[in-house]
């Protein structure tokens, strides 16, 4: 997600801002920029890393005592120098950095266009700074009042910092829905999306609350409400946590932070796309290829690792709801086995990073064969996103831990929405059924939130696993891919050899592995396959296997058979992977921690496999 920094005081602002931007790199970004006030406004911004920004500025000496900076994680508008922040208003007097999304930016833009405003970028932020300029000119008010009045017309989320060529030592900041922290130094002020940019420069912070704004100047800091300009008494806190723990949001590892982010990330994945009442899925990428989707005889899903597992869930859901044939392939196999691809095929390429070499190569091959490629990526501007004919971003936010967690549930959510779109489009899914599923998708974030309370219990269950050398994960139907995903999570961060299997496949060989040393994790949610899974649990217990079950509340028979039980909320069969995956993520996390493994950067692994 984006990050903002700011400085106002006696020091040279430039080094404070550049170091502050580096501290925000952990949030994930694709471009950065700074604006400095040195009698005039000096703006530098660059696609890429903070190093690229520094190289752009070069050895140029910039003496300025005030400035703002930004790291951008693109959600709308390509990562490039024009879309990078900061953004300057038309008259050149005002400059802004912004973290958030202005939902009514189009109507504000139209108002400004009618007033002969022009725009260079595709960002909502540039619209906001010009709207502030417009309000200040129209209302003939001070900068802080113009910002306050303008923000009262804005719908969306924002954390902003604004400086003006005409106000040499004044910075105005405001927040609603995105975080903003003020650092209070000795005659100097810092701002940041969190305290990391200035934690070594002051431990005294003010946490701005939603709906509040602050005016920073040589006279001090004044805080008031955006809505009614009510003064707020500033409460200064002393920072107790260190840099490392702030980056992880107070969690011990990025992976745990990202597991706990899933209620929010799934909300962001469905935001503006899922409409229950009129039984609609709105995804520009799908509309763009709607004619090809109507003619499609088959969908090919390609991906690697966790993305491939999401693809398998997608196969089950799309065939179940839309009755369209789906085949799922490892991208690495697909690209070399000389597959049969027709121009009527739709290829869905799934990739969190959008840079996986095998997936990218498979896409190029599919395109050469005339297929239509739809990319499902988490990184805007990534190679796979750009190479695809159309696509949908998962909007899960940056995923830093090598083990993919929130990206998986976001990918499955997008695939479920695609299944709903296709099923409604080809008439195989009734409006009632659509609405039943869509309503349940809307309930998933709250259900995941309730499951996160299982963390302590799962940490205890992990103690029975962490010394094992092997593990089996079993599932059926929609949860067979979840068994594979759970096994991958465990093996890649704890180095325990783990395999996922369709539960019914046990009797065709794997059951020979079962003894008192073999933990078997059975994904057995309530649903069509539940009874058969109880039988599979009995088969394992009869051979002294250790059984850990993921199941519904109060399943006494499963409880009596299992050595460990993790009870989860109910949902529709086709959506159970969004819930059953969560305990498996937590289980692998705690086992890895108890084995003293490097959870966020497991040995031999990279977050994005950009080479073969």
User: Does the footprint of ligand AGP cover residue 135 (CB under 6 A)?
Assistant: no
User: Does the footprint of ligand AGP cover residue 266 (CB under 6 A)?
Assistant: no
User: Does the footprint of ligand AGP cover residue 609 (CB under 6 A)?
Assistant: yes
Beta bridge partners of 372: 346
- DSSP, collapsed to helix, strand or coil, labels residue 51 as helix
Nearer to ligand AGP by C-beta: 38 or 608?
608
CA-closest candidate to residue 97, choices 184, 12, 33? 33
- Which 20-79 residues touch ligand AGP, going by CB under 6 A? none
Answer for which of 183, 305, 311, 481 binds ligand AGP (CB under 6 A) is 305
Answer for which of 142, 145, 217, 608 binds ligand AGP (CB under 6 A) is 608
Task: List C-alpha distances in Å: 119 to 70, 129, 130, 131, 518.
Answer: 19, 11, 9, 12, 63
Instruction: Find the residue with minimal CB distance to ligand AGP.
Output: 305
User: Does the footprint of ligand AGP cover residue 601 (CB under 6 A)?
Assistant: no
User: Does the footprint of ligand AGP cover residue 382 (CB under 6 A)?
Assistant: no
Stretch that binds ligand AGP, among 203-211, 305-313, 431-439, 442-450 (CB under 6 A): 305-313
Establish whether 2 is a catalytic residue.
Answer: yes
- Which 184-213 residues touch ligand AGP, going by CB under 6 A? none
> Is the separation of the CB atoms in 324 and 422 below 8 Å?
yes
Establish whether 607 is a catalytic residue.
Answer: yes
User: Does the footprint of ligand AGP cover residue 498 (CB under 6 A)?
Assistant: no
User: Does the footprint of ligand AGP cover residue 492 (CB under 6 A)?
Assistant: yes
Nearer to ligand AGP by C-beta: 431 or 497?
497
Nearer to ligand AGP by C-beta: 86 or 354?
354
Answer for which of 50, 304, 392, 593 binds ligand AGP (CB under 6 A) is 304
> Is the separation of the CB atoms in 234 and 192 below 8 Å?
no
Size of residue set near ligand AGP by CB under 6 A: 15
Nearer to ligand AGP by C-beta: 247 or 492?
492
Helix boundaries (H) for 32-104: 50-57
User: Does the footprint of ligand AGP cover residue 494 (CB under 6 A)?
Assistant: no
Answer for which of 32, 46, 268, 307 binds ligand AGP (CB under 6 A) is 307
Find all residues with CB under 8 Å of 145, minimum gap 6, and list them.
139, 229
Minimum distance of ligand AGP from residue 304's CB (angstroms):
4
Task: List C-alpha distances in Å: 92 to 53, 89, 455.
Answer: 21, 5, 52
Half-sphere exposure of 438 (CA within 13 A, CB side): 27
Given the residues 165, 292, 433, 607, select the one marked as catalytic.
Answer: 607
User: Does the footprint of ligand AGP cover residue 357 (CB under 6 A)?
Assistant: no
Q: Could you give the CA distance from residue 87 to residue 71 in angstroms, rounded to a whole number?
A: 13
Stretch that binds ligand AGP, among 38-46, 113-121, 129-137, 300-308 (CB under 6 A): 300-308
Answer for which of 31, 71, 130, 353 binds ligand AGP (CB under 6 A) is 353
Minimum distance of ligand AGP from residue 492's CB (angstroms):
6
Chain centroid to CA 452: how far?
18
User: Does the footprint of ligand AGP cover residue 167 (CB under 6 A)?
Assistant: no
Q: Could you give the CA distance from residue 178 to residue 100 in angstroms, rounded to a whole number?
A: 6
Site string for ligand AGP, 383-422 (x = CB under 6 A): -------------------xxx------------------
Answer for which of 123, 125, 196, 351 binds ligand AGP (CB under 6 A) is 351
Answer for which of 356, 536, 581, 585 binds ligand AGP (CB under 6 A) is 356
Q: Rounded to the nearest 10 degrees, what angle do helices 455-462 and 576-594 cross at?
A: 50
Minimum distance of ligand AGP from residue 606's CB (angstroms):
8
Stretch that binds ligand AGP, among 89-97, 301-309, 322-330, 448-456 (CB under 6 A): 301-309
User: Does the footprint of ligand AGP cover residue 536 (CB under 6 A)?
Assistant: no
Nearer to ligand AGP by C-beta: 268 or 536?
268
Given the residues 2, 105, 304, 372, select the one marked as catalytic.
Answer: 2
Minimum distance of ligand AGP from residue 597's CB (angstroms):
14
Exposure pattern of 360-399 as b/e (b: 16+ CB <10 Å)?
bbbbebbbeeebbbbbbbbbbbbbbbebbbbbbbbbbbbb
Sign of CA dihedral 98, 104, 106, 112: negative
Backbone φ and ψ of 379, nearest 5°: -115, 115
Exposure pattern of 579-608 as b/e (b: 16+ CB <10 Å)?
bbbbbbbbbbbbbbbebebebbbbeeeebe
Beta bridge partners of 95: 88, 163
Nearer to ligand AGP by C-beta: 460 or 610?
610
For 349-394, give the DSSP string: EEESSS--HHHHHHHHHHHHTT-EEEEEESSTT-HHHHHSSEEEE-
Minimum distance of ligand AGP from residue 471's CB (angstroms):
16
Assign residue 376 a region (left: φ > 0; alpha: ψ between -120 and 50; beta: otherwise). Answer: beta
Q: Are strands 66-72 and 519-524 parallel, antiparallel or unpaired?
A: unpaired
Task: List C-alpha distances in Å: 318 to 328, 363, 414, 502, 557.
Answer: 12, 21, 11, 19, 32
Nearer to ligand AGP by C-beta: 208 or 584?
584
Q: Could you give the CA distance from residue 271 to residue 483 in angstroms, rounded to a whole number?
A: 28
Answer for which of 90, 178, 306, 549 binds ligand AGP (CB under 6 A) is 306
Nearer to ligand AGP by C-beta: 162 or 483?
483
Task: List C-alpha distances in Å: 342 to 288, 385, 425.
Answer: 19, 22, 21
Q: Which residues are catalytic?
A: 2, 607
Residues near ligand AGP (CB under 6 A) are 304-307, 351-353, 356, 359, 402-404, 492, 608-609
């Amino acid at each position: 997600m984006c990050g903002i920094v700011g400085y106002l005081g006696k020091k040279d602002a430039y080094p404070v801002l550049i170091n502050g931007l580096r501290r925000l790199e952990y949030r994930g970004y694709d471009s950065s920029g700074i604006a400095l006030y040195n009698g005039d406004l000096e703006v530098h911004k660059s696609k890429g890393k903070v190093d690229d920004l520094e190289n752009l500025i070069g050895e140029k000496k910039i003496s300025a005592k005030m400035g703002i900076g930004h790291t951008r994680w693109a959600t709308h508008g390509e990562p490039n120098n024009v879309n990078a922040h900061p953004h300057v208003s038309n008259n050149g007097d005002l400059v802004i950095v912004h973290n958030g999304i202005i939902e009514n930016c189009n109507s504000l833009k139209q108002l400004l266009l009618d007033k002969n405003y022009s725009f260079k970028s595709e960002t909502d932020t540039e619209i906001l700074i010009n709207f502030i300029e417009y309000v200040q000119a129209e209302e003939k008010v001070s900068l802080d009042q113009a910002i306050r009045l303008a923000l009262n017309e804005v719908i969306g989320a924002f954390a902003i910092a604004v400086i003006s060529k005409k106000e040499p030592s004044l910075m105005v900041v405001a927040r609603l829905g995105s975080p903003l922290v003020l650092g209070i130094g000795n005659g100097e002020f810092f701002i940041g999306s969190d305290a990391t940019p200035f934690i070594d420069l002051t431990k005294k912070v003010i946490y701005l609350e939603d709906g509040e704004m602050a005016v920073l100047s040589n006279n001090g800091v004044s805080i008031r409400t955006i809505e009614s300009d009510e003064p707020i008494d500033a409460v200064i806190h002393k920072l107790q946590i260190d840099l490392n723990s702030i980056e992880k949001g107070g969690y011990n590892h990025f992976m745990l932070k990202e597991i706990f982010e899933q209620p929010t990330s799934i909300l962001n994945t469905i935001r503006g796309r899922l409409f229950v009442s009129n039984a609609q899925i709105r995804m520009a990428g799908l509309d763009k290829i709607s004619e090809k989707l109507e003619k499609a005889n088959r969908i090919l899903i390609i991906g690697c690792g966790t993305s491939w597992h999401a693809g398998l869930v997608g196969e089950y859901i799309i065939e179940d709801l839309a009755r369209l044939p789906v085949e799922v392939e490892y991208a690495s196999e697909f690209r070399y086995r000389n597959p049969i691809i027709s121009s009527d095929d739709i290829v869905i390429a799934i990739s969190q990073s959008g840079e996986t070499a095998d997936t990218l190569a498979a896409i190029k091959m599919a395109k050469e064969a005339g297929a239509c490629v739809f990319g499902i990526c988490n990184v805007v501007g990534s190679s796979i996103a750009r190479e695809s004919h159309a696509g949908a971003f998962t909007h899960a936010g940056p995923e830093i831990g090598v083990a993919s967690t929130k990206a998986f549930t976001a990918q499955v959510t997008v695939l479920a929405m695609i299944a709903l779109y296709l099923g409604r489009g080809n008439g195989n899914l009734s409006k009632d059924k659509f609405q039943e599923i869509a309503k349940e998708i809307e309930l998933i974030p709250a259900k995941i939130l309730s499951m996160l309370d299982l963390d302590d219990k799962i940490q205890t269950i992990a103690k029975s696993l962490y010394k094992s050398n092997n593990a089996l994960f079993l599932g059926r139907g929609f949860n067979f891919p979840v068994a594979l995903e759970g096994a991958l999570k465990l093996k890649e961060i704890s180095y325990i050899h783990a395999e996922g299997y369709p539960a019914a496949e046990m009797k065709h060989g794997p059951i020979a592995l079962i003894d008192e040393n073999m933990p078997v994790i059975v994904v057995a949610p309530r649903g069509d396959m539940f009874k058969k899974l109880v039988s599979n649990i009995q088969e394992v217990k009869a051979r002294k296997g250790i059984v850990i079950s993921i199941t519904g509340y109060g399943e006494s028979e499963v409880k009596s058979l299992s050595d460990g039980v993790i009870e989860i909320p109910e949902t529709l069969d086709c959506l159970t992977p969004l819930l059953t995956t969560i305990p498996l993520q937590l289980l692998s996390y705690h086992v890895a921690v108890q084995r003293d493994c490097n959870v966020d950067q497991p040995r031999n692994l990279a977050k994005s496999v950009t080479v073969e």
